[in-house]
Structures are given as C-alpha cells and as structure tokens.
Homo-oligomer: A and B are copies of this chain.
Amino acid sequence: MKTFDQYAAIANEAIANIKYPEQPSGLYAPIAYTMASGGKRLRPSLALMACEAAGGDIQDALLPAIGLELFHNFTLLHDDVMDRADIRRGRPTVHCKWNDNTAILSGDAMLTFATQFIAKTTPVRLPRMMELFNKTAMEIYEGQQYDMDFEQRDNVSVDEYIEMIRLKTSVLLGCACKLGAIAADADEETADAYYKVGENMGLAFQLQDDMLDVWGDPATFGKEIGGDIMNNKKTFLLINAVNLAKGDDAAQLQALIADTNAQRDIKVPAVRAIYEHLRLREMSTEAINRYNDAAVECLDHIDMSDEARKAFTTLFSRLIKRDK
C-alpha cells in the first residue's frame, strides 16, 4: 500500500500524460486547461487505493480512475456555467476565459472523453465499470438538479439536503472506491462494501466543505469565505439554523436572508455568529464524525490488510480536518 499522496502523485502523472488532439483547439484547449488546474485528485487516488486494498494491481485501475477525474472536472466546468462562477481554483473558469458556447461544447467532449477513459479497461471488466459509471453520472446530474431546485424552495429539509449532497458529491466517491475494487476483480458484495465506504466519506467530506465556507481560513481555502452565506445557499448549516433559531436569532437571521444588498463584511460575520450561538459548529462536527464512523465501520466489514485499513482511515482523518 501507498499513502494518499503517493496515489495522488501517480494520478497526477497520468493526467499530465493525457494526449489531447491539437485540432480543433477551441474544443480541446479548454479540456487541457481544466485538467491542468490541479485539485486534490481525490477520486482517482481513492480508486487506486481501493484497487490495491482489494488485492489488485493499480495499473488495472489507473486509466478508468483518470476517467473519473475527467468526469468530475466536466461537472465543475458545466456547473460553473450554470452558477455563473468566474473563478475556480484561483483561475478564470472556462466560460469566462473563453465563452459559454465553448464551455458547453468542450464540457460535452470532456464527458465523452471521460467515458473513453472508463472504457480503457479489459473487455471482461467493461460491463461492470460502464454500468457503475453511467449510473453514478445520472445520479450526479440529479443531485445538481435538486441543488438548483432547492434555490427556488423555502422548505428544504435536512434529510432532503443530505440526499442532495449524497447524489451530487458522495456517489462519485463511492463509485471511485467500487471502480478500484472492480479493477481488482472483487465480487459484487465486496465491491458494494467499498462503495459504501466512499459514499459515507463523501457525506462527511461535503459537510466539511459547508463548514469551510463559514469557518475556513481565507489564506488557505482558495476561494472567498462566505460564498454560501452571501447566496443564502441552503446548506446543512442554514437549514438547521432556520429550524433552530428562536427569538432575536430568528428575526436577525430572516432579516439577513432577506437583505439582498447586504455587505459581505457585515452579513458573513453576522450569520456566522448566529451559527455559533446555535452551536451549529459543534452539531456539524458531530454529523461529520458520525459519517466518518460509518465509513470506518463499512471498512471493518471488508477483508483487507491492516496497512490498507490504515491508509483509508488516515485519509478520512485528513479529509475531515482539512482546511481547503
């Protein structure tokens, strides 16, 4: 077994070696630009880790794993068009650097390109990998649709929110773990157990992301703090705050939500103070720990070396303590 950073280095090298056709450059340059913008490479690294934990050779997982990273970056590319986001990982997004049409079309090409990488497996593994990948992709679109639907709704429940982030974020981490297990020719029950590990970890991961938007350090976070707060995004924190706030807290929170002209340096600290008053920081941390524990428990049901188990739990600890 290797450390997460070693798996990430292997994924990064494979990504750096991707050959993009030169022409038409308007189609392929935005894909190369997107893939060169870095990121944690969490999904392919997880796939490699799961493959080795399940007794496989990481070379059998590598190209499909890169397919997952291509897919993830395609979703970010199109999401940035839909969200009108200008900056991603410190650089202009594709629709800002080029234009909307380029972002739409090169995103489409990126999805098919990702599918081509998933298909770079042996014929015998292809049906399982392709079914897993396509199903996961559909769920992710569903998650994005619910996320957009929630913007128009005032009564989103915590359960609905958790289901939305499960679809939008967690299933791809589950898919990465299962894909690695399939590359190791694990049986379906074992592969599904790997899926559950990634799925639970993904929920912890996204709740941690919600917290970073509120309590992250602007110097390390990579994007501005308080974006969710400014957009009244219905996160785990805001939904719970609206449910739990009483008296002055409730009145102030509703006023802050309703004030469309609020200054960032006023609104963000004010909402944060309400969250803290309601002890939502502790409540979020507890929820994250619960999902983390669930991931560890799923791990306990899988037959793997202590070294492999340690690699996963080390990664979990790192993800839920991360600052970016």
Contacts and interface: CB of A to CB of B under 8 A. Distances in A.
Interface of A: 21, 23-24, 26-27, 78, 81-82, 100-101, 104-109, 111-113, 115-116, 119, 123-124, 126-127, 130-131, 134-135, 137-138, 141-142, 144-146, 148-149
Contacts of A141: 27, 105-106, 108-109, 112
Given A111-B112, A123-B126, A141-B105, A24 B82 contact: no
Q: A-B pairs with the 3 shortest C-beta distances?
A: A27-B145, A24-B145, A109-B141
Contacts of A135: 116
A69 to B, nearest CB: 17
A141 B142 CA distance: 24
A111 to B, nearest CB: 6
A83 to B, nearest CB: 9
Contacts of A108: 78, 107-108, 111, 141
A163 to B, nearest CB: 11
Contacts of A81: 101, 104
Nearest to A71: B112
A102 to B, nearest CB: 8
Contact of A127 (B100, B106, B112, B119): B119
B112 A119 contact: no
Q: What copy number does this chain have within its complex? A: 2
A272 to B, nearest CB: 29
Nearest to A23: B142
A24 B131 contact: no
Given A21-B142, A78-B104, A109-B138, 12 more contacts: A24-B142, A26-B145, A27-B142, A27-B145, A81-B104, A101-B148, A108-B111, A112-B134, A115-B115, A116-B138, A119-B130, A123-B123
Choose among A23, A101, A141 the residue with the greatest number of B CB atoms under 10 Å from its CB. Answer: A141
Contacts of A144: 105
A134 B149 contact: no
A137 B112 contact: yes
17 contacts: A23-B142, A24-B146, A26-B149, A27-B141, A78-B108, A81-B104, A104-B104, A107-B108, A108-B108, A108-B111, A108-B141, A109-B138, A109-B141, A111-B112, A119-B130, A123-B124, A126-B130
Contacts of A27: 141-142, 145
B112 A145 contact: no
Contact of A148 (B26, B107, B142): B26
A134 B115 contact: yes
Contacts of A130: 115, 119, 126, 130
A127 B321 CA distance: 42
A60 to B, nearest CB: 16
A30 to B, nearest CB: 10
